[in-house]
Every structure is written in structure tokens, then in C-alpha cells.
Amino acid sequence: MRAALMYAAGDVRVETVADPALREATDAVVRVVAGCICGSDLWPYASKKPSEHGSRMGHEFVGVVEEVGAEVSGVAVGDFVIAPFVVSDGVCDFCREGLQTSCRHGESWGGPGVDGGQGERVRVPKADGTLVVVPAGFDEKLIPGLLSLSDVMSTGFHAAKMGRVSAGQSVTVIGDGAVGLCGVIAAKLVGATEIILMGRHTDRTDLGLEFGATHVVAERGEEGVARVLELTGGDGTHVVLEAVGLPQAVDTAIRVVRDGGVISRVGVPQDPTIAFGRREFLRNLTLTGGVAPARAYIDELLPLVLDGTIEPGRVFDRTIGIEEVPEGYRAMAAREALKVLVAM
Amino acid sequence: MRAALMYAAGDVRVETVADPALREATDAVVRVVAGCICGSDLWPYASKKPSEHGSRMGHEFVGVVEEVGAEVSGVAVGDFVIAPFVVSDGVCDFCREGLQTSCRHGESWGGPGVDGGQGERVRVPKADGTLVVVPAGFDEKLIPGLLSLSDVMSTGFHAAKMGRVSAGQSVTVIGDGAVGLCGVIAAKLVGATEIILMGRHTDRTDLGLEFGATHVVAERGEEGVARVLELTGGDGTHVVLEAVGLPQAVDTAIRVVRDGGVISRVGVPQDPTIAFGRREFLRNLTLTGGVAPARAYIDELLPLVLDGTIEPGRVFDRTIGIEEVPEGYRAMAAREALKVLVAM
């Protein structure tokens, strides 16, 4: 079968690899219907050191179950399933608490001995814990939306949940990438009435306005901060969803959040430290967020995708085949594409 | 009247100053019955640059109302009152939300034109918003407990509240000072079942055990972290209340909190940055806490002090008169006294 591997920064190749097979009795094999490229894949695409053996890529996919191990009971051959972006056993204390990203037996797609979602088939470890079955009979047009639950929509929802966004609150979303836009959807879903989207790509922020943003701030840095403060009577918003991860975005978040407010970050932090000292202490700011346990949210979000309440699938603005994955990376890195779907 | 002023690090003097008088119609004048020295007063005591005019000190006091301005309606002459450690108007949006430390018209004791609590009398601005009246007829032995509501007990409670400590959870309290010990009281009050107190002063940690700590860890740094992890099956506790503020304490907090857990800090941060990057992001850690809006908690805590449910007054282990305040600072800085009460 064909699958994408990354060998170094800027060097993604599609190669023929061994077909996956069941290894453990708790495994399933899934034929991927749609995978995608993640904003977080762009970090190694910009910086990965050359390696002789490439890394299998892709941690978001939906597909059809082709085989299940003897101990798998929750999914069956023929089921259409969503794979969250980490493998989890579903039974440990962390999984039961809804923090599957800290599962005691968790694994990562593309990790040692684990397939990636940018490939035609995937062996899914701990299939019962990991996969979510989509009820049969859905419209195929919903596949991008279902795929978004693997990561970006669940991540946006995580940001809102960790930020404890509640009805009537004001929210700033920093970043107009797919996660930021899903953060807008999530903020609206949980009742925010003022949603300020900070981003400078008009096509993306236009989509953000359709998703529920009430204001767009295209300015960055000092000017961006001033604009948000102007929109909020000088106070900032109750919650900031930070979906970038760069130091400047974090700095902006701190400056546009209201006293007593919450910065919920879902952009992978690119700096090991954060300026969060006495000044932030005196303002009673909370810093939260993290890698999203997508598995915890899919049960809640899936019906909303199926009935059209939310349309996170609209963040995909380009569809390619498996052979075009290298071009997909290039387009996303060049910001020509917002999010690229790989149809197998 | 007599009042304490700090002129420089290590230089506290008791001097005769002008008696306070009503200035605004919303002021009250309070005769201080008991004030105290705060752990946070030890920061300037260690580092304040020399100044020609000293700063009035003390931000915690209880006393009797002697005069009220024409617009004061909530407190009357003769009332015994508790002064939270900041002045707040009680009517702005932040005050109504319970974040009086961000009051739109807030003032600080000892700030420009404002008296301090380490003195015989105090002009209290915005008396209706600031002061809490204690119902008449209480036992005078409860005065230390009432005084603790000005700051340390309310601060410990803030730590537990911001940390969202809930029934059945495990909590680590870092620091065996008065705030840390009040954090133990607060953690127990809200239902924590495992409370690990990190501190190395046996007389203090013994009091912590009486307050509800289930374990004491005297080790610090690597050894302290190892010991807490050993007590928690390698996972750490759900919540950490950080009541020190030094970088090592913050580092310990991060290392002894469970994945998905909360670090709630009430020790004034001594470092403007914190190591809270990708590693903490992957663990979904939350950093919260801040300067406590004591005013928000006194209504809830006061009945518990009056009926003896909690005994935070026990953190005071030395009582002095106003003339002995310089010696009180010395004793607290030398860790000879845990917390010094100044009886006027």
C-alpha cells in the first residue's frame, strides 16, 4: 500500500510500504477513506533533522474497518470509524476521566511500530478504546466534518472547554488556522456572545465570521492588542483561545484577556517558558489548555456534525490524492491551503 | 497615634503620625484592635531600597468603627469589622463578580494617602464596599481567627477555590507558612481526602497535621518531588496549592501535579517567567491562582470561624504590642515566629 513518510524538513515522500495486519487481539485494520495534513505537521516539516528511515505521517483519519482482532467487541468489520489523534485503551483512570491523551497505554500514530493516517490502511491498536463508530447511512458530504473530529474540531472544543467559556461571555480566538476557526465554532456552541477572531488571512477570517465570529482583528502585536482592548472597553475578553503557539501569540493572549480571565492554549507552545509572573498573578489570570483528548469529545460533537448544527468540515479547502501529499505539505506551509484533505 | 513605617530593608520604625480623619463621605475611621505582619511584608523587609519617607505598613486588621462618613450605610459606629487586604468599592462589575482585587476603584493599604493596618487607627476608604461587620457577642478568643480572614485564611481558601479542589481529591500544599497552613484548612474544608503538606519546620507541619494534612514531606527539591510521587503511586496529586512563590517551589509544583491537574499559586511569584511549555501542554496542566479577593470569601468563612469549624487563628504564634513591631519583623524574617499578631 502507499503511505507518506517524512525524511527531513521539506522532504515528504509517498512510498510503497507493507500492508498492515493484526498484531494484537485488540487491534483492528482500517481502510482509510480520508486523512489529512495537520498544522502541527508543519513544525517537523520546517525543522525535522534528516533521518535515514522516514517517519510515517498523519494522525487524523476516518475509514472503514476491514479486520478486527479476537478481543475487539466495540467495532465490527464494515463500520465507518473516526480515529482520534492518539491511541487510548479506554479503560484506564485517565481515559475514564476523559484525558485519553494521558492514557496509561497510549500510543501515537506514526510512532514506533504504529502506522500513520496519511496512508491507505492503518493498524489501529486498542481499537475498542480508540475508535468511534459513525452510525451508518450518513451523507458522504459529511466526511470532512467527521474527519475534523479526529483533531481540529475536537481541539477547538477542548480550548473552549478548558477555558470554561460560558453563555454570554466574550472570547478572543488567536489564530485563523483550522484549529482557531474550530475554536470559533466551539465558542459559539457553548454560548459566547462576543467572539473576536484575530487573523489576517481574509478568506479564513471570512469563514470565521460565518462560523460565528462577531469581530475580526487583522492587526498583530501592539496594534492587535489595542484593537481588541478598544472593542472591549479596555478590559479584554473573559477567555482567550490561543491557537498558534508562538511566543507573540501567547503575549497577545495575556494582554487581551480580562482580569480574572482564562487563557486556554491549544497551539503547541514553541517556547519552554512563558512570561506569567507577578503581573499576571495580580490579575488572577489562569493559563490552561493542552493537547486535546479528542476521544472525549467525539460522542458529543458527532451528532452535531451529522445533523448539520456545526460545519467544521468547511475548514478543508483542498482535496488531494495520496500521491499528492508532498504537494499538500508545500501548499499548507506556504499558506496557500488552509487544511488539506487526502482522499484515498 | 502610633504606626509602623518601613524605611528600607530591615528598617521598620514605630512613629507618631497624624490621627486619621474622614476625608470622603464614603470613609470610616476604625480603631484597630488587632493587626499583623504578613509573609508578603517580608519581601520588602528583605529588599526595599532606602527611602526618605517611610511607607506605612500592614494590610490586615480588625477593629471597631469610630466614625463613618455621611454616605456610609453598611457599617455603623461601634461595629466590629474585618478589613480585607485591599480596599474595594463593592459595586463595580469586578466586585460583583467576586474579584475585588481588580476593583475599578481599588486602593491598597499603605498606598499613597492610605493608612496601614500596623497602626492604632485607620481611615478606611469605601467603607461599605471594603469592611465586613462581625455580629456582636463573639468570644474575644476568636479575634485571631477573625483577623486571619483579612488575608491568610482567605488566601488559602482562594488557592483551593481557584484550584477547583473537590471532594475526594488529592492535594499537595507547598509551604508551611501561615498561608500554606490555611491552604490545608481550605483543602480539607472543600473535601480533599489526601493532603500532602511540604514543609520542613516541624512545629508548623505539626499544626498542619492538626488542620487536616494526611502526610508531611519535609524534603525539598528532587527528594521532595520523589517523596510526593511515591505517596501518590507515581502520579502526583490532582491539585497543588503553591504558597511560596520562589522558582523552586513552582518547579516542584509542576512536578508533583497529576496530568490534567491544577497548580493554584498564592505565593507571590518572584520570577517573571515560568517554565510552562510543551511538556506541561502535553500533560494538560492548568496554572491558576493569584492575589486573593479576601472580601469575596469572608461571608462564607466568617460563620465557620465563629462556630469553631475552622481555627485559622492558630497560625498566630506570637502577640506583640505596636512598639514591638520592628522586633516582630525580625522574628518572622528569622523564622522564629510563624505569624505575629499586633494587639493595639
Looking at residue B319, what is its pLDDT? 98
Place of cell 456582636: B136
CB-CB under 8 Å, A273 with B282: no
CB nearest B282 (choices: A162, A288, A291): A291
How close B273 comes to chain A (CA, Å)? 4
CB-CB under 8 Å, B279 with A274: no
Please, which pLDDT band fits residue A338 given cuts at 50, 70 and 90? very high
Instruction: Tell me the per-residue pLDDT of B39-61, one tens digit each, with 9 for 90 and over.
Output: 989 999 999 999 999 999 999 99
Q: Scanning every residue of chain A, which has its alpha carbon at the shortest distance from the alpha carbon of B293?
A: A284
Spatial distance between the Cα atoms of B134 and B150, rounded to a whole number of angstroms: 12
Which amino acid, residue A213?
A
Q: How many residues does chain B have?
A: 344
CB-based contacts of B193, cutoff 8 Å, min separation 6: B167, B168, B169, B170, B214
- Which fold, A2-151+293-343? Quinone Oxidoreductase; Chain A, domain 1 (3.90.180)
Which percentage of chain A shows pLDDT scores above 90?
99
Q: Which grid coordinates belong to B313?
A: 487563628
- Is B277 near chain A, with CB under 8 Å? yes
Please, which pLDDT band fits residue B138 given cuts at 50, 70 and 90? very high
Q: Is B16 in contact with B1 (CB distance < 8 Å)?
A: yes
Q: Which of A49, A33, A20 is nearest to A110 (CA)?
A: A20
CB nearest A278 (choices: B260, B272, B282): B272
Instruction: Tell me the per-residue pLDDT of A226-262, one tens digit each, with 9 for 90 and over.
Output: 999 999 999 999 999 999 999 999 999 999 999 999 9
Q: If contacts are CB pairs under 8 Å, which of residues 101-130 in chain A contact chain B? A: 101-102
Domain B155-289 grouped into CATH 3.40.50.300: no
Residue A67's Cα: distance from chain center in Å?
27
Instruction: Tell me the per-residue pLDDT of B88-100, one tens digit each, with 9 for 90 and over.
Output: 999 999 999 999 9
What's the Cα-to-Cα distance from A285 to each of A73, A233, A292, B188, rounded to whole Å?
45, 18, 21, 25
How close A16 comes to chain B (CA, Å)? 32
Mean pLDDT across the stretch B313-338?
97
Q: Is B74 in contact with B124 (CB distance < 8 Å)?
A: no
Place of cell 470532512: A144
Spatial distance between the Cα atoms of A101 and A10, rounded to a whole number of angstroms: 28
- Pairing of the two strands A286-289 and A215-217: unpaired
- Is A283 near chain B, with CB under 8 Å? yes
- Is B99 near chain A, with CB under 8 Å? yes
Please, which pLDDT band fits residue B183 given cuts at 50, 70 and 90? very high
CB nearest A284 (choices: B285, B286, B291): B291
Q: Is A261 in contact with B262 (CB distance < 8 Å)?
A: no
Q: Scanning every residue of chain B, which has its alpha carbon at the shortest distance from the alpha carbon of A282?
A: B291
- Is B282 near chain A, with CB under 8 Å? yes
- Is B159 near chain A, with CB under 8 Å? no
Instruction: Tell me the per-residue pLDDT of A102-130, one tens digit each, with 9 for 90 and over.
Output: 999 999 999 989 999 999 999 999 999 99
CB-CB under 8 Å, B277 with A269: yes
CB-CB under 8 Å, B276 with A291: no
Going edge to edge, which strands form the sheet with B2-8?
Answer: B11-16, B2-8, B55-56
Q: Which residues of A touch B285 (CB under 8 A)?
A: 290
Mean pLDDT across the stretch B112-138?
97
Q: Which grid coordinates belong to B241?
A: 496549592
The C-alpha angle with vertex B125 and arms to B119 and B126, in degrees rounded to 5, equals: 140
DSSP codes, A126-184: THHHH-EEEPS---GGGHHHHHHTTTHHHHHHHHHHHTT--TT-EEEEE--SHHHHHHH
Q: Scanning every residue of chain A, which has its alpha carbon at the shortest distance from the alpha carbon of B86?
A: A282
Mean pLDDT across the stretch A334-343?
96
Mutate: best of B93, B257, B287, partner A, most A CBs <10 A: B287
Spatial distance between the Cα atoms of A133 and B115, rounded to a whole number of angstroms: 66
Q: Which residues of A touch B290 (CB under 8 A)?
A: 280-285
Instruction: Tell me the per-residue pLDDT of B239-279, one tens digit each, with 9 for 90 and over.
Output: 999 999 999 999 999 999 999 999 999 999 999 999 999 99
Domain ranges of chain A: 2-151+293-343, 156-289
CB-based contacts of A326, cutoff 8 Å, min separation 6: A4, A12, A13, A14
Please, which pLDDT band fits residue B292 given cuts at 50, 70 and 90? very high
Q: Scanning every residue of chain B, which has its alpha carbon at the shortest distance from the alpha carbon of A251?
A: B273
Instruction: Tell me the per-residue pLDDT of A36-59, one tens digit each, with 9 for 90 and over.
Output: 999 989 999 999 999 999 999 999
Q: Scanning every residue of chain A, which has its alpha carbon at the shortest distance from the alpha carbon of B287?
A: A287
- Is A233 near chain B, with CB under 8 Å? no
Looking at residue B284, what is its pLDDT? 98
Task: HSE, CB side, 13 Å, CA atoms: give it for residue B86.
Answer: 24
Q: Which residues of B touch A271 (CB under 8 A)?
A: 277
Q: Which of B201, B203, B166, B158 is nearest to B182 (CA)?
A: B158
Q: Which grid coordinates belong to B274?
A: 515560568
End-to-end Cα distance, chain B? 11
ipTM higher than threshold 0.85: yes
CB-based contacts of B336, cutoff 8 Å, min separation 6: none
CB nearest B260 (choices: A99, A269, A277): A99
- Pairing of the two strands A237-242 and A215-217: unpaired
Instruction: Indicate the SS3 state at residue A105.
Output: coil
Please, which pLDDT band fits residue A164 given cuts at 50, 70 and 90? very high
CB nearest A285 (choices: B277, B284, B290): B290
Q: Is B83 in contact with B74 (CB distance < 8 Å)?
A: no
Please, which pLDDT band fits residue B208 given cuts at 50, 70 and 90? very high
CB-CB under 8 Å, A284 with B102: yes
Q: Is A35 in contact with A58 (CB distance < 8 Å)?
A: yes
Looking at residue B46, what is its pLDDT? 96
Q: Scanning every residue of chain B, which has its alpha carbon at the shortest distance from the alpha carbon of A98?
A: B260
Q: Is A144 in contact with A87 (CB distance < 8 Å)?
A: no
Spatial distance between the Cα atoms of B46 and B330, rounded to a whole number of angstroms: 10
CB nearest B273 (choices: A275, A282, A293): A275
Can you list the alpha helix ranges (DSSP code H) found in chain A?
42-47, 93-96, 127-130, 143-148, 152-162, 178-189, 202-211, 221-231, 247-256, 278-282, 294-306, 325-333
- Is B284 near chain A, with CB under 8 Å? yes
CB nearest B273 (choices: A270, A276, A286): A276
- Is A248 near chain B, with CB under 8 Å? no
Spatial distance between the Cα atoms of A281 and B158, rounded to a whole number of angstroms: 12
- Which fold, A156-289? Rossmann fold (3.40.50)
Looking at residue A177, what is its pLDDT? 96
Which amino acid, residue B4?
A
CB-CB under 8 Å, B277 with A97: no
- Is A236 near chain B, with CB under 8 Å? no
Looking at residue A144, what is its pLDDT? 98
Spatial distance between the Cα atoms of B239 and B264, rounded to a whole number of angstroms: 7
CB-CB under 8 Å, A289 with B282: no
Please state the φ and ψ torsions of residue A191, each to the nearest 5 degrees: 105, 5
Place of cell 476521544: A295
Task: HSE, CB side, 13 Å, CA atoms: give it for residue A156.
Answer: 32
Q: Which grid coordinates belong to A295?
A: 476521544
Q: Is B176 in contact with B39 (CB distance < 8 Å)?
A: no
Mutate: best of B281, B285, B288, B295, partner A, most A CBs <10 A: B281
Spatial distance between the Cα atoms of B117 and B35, rounded to a whole number of angstroms: 6
- Pairing of the two strands A340-343 and A318-320: parallel
Mean pLDDT across the stretch B293-314?
98
Residue A127's Cα: distance from chain center in Å?
20
For residue A306, the tally of other CB atoms under 10 A from its CB is: 16
Spatial distance between the Cα atoms of A95 and B20, rounded to a whole number of angstroms: 61
CB-CB under 8 Å, A284 with B99: yes
What's the Cα-to-Cα distance from B338 to each of B39, B175, B179, B204, B326, rounded to whole Å?
9, 12, 10, 8, 15
Looking at residue A148, what is its pLDDT? 98
Spatial distance between the Cα atoms of B302 and A120, rounded to a whole number of angstroms: 65
Looking at residue B272, what is its pLDDT? 94
Q: Scanning every residue of chain B, which has its alpha carbon at the shortest distance from the alpha carbon of A284?
A: B290
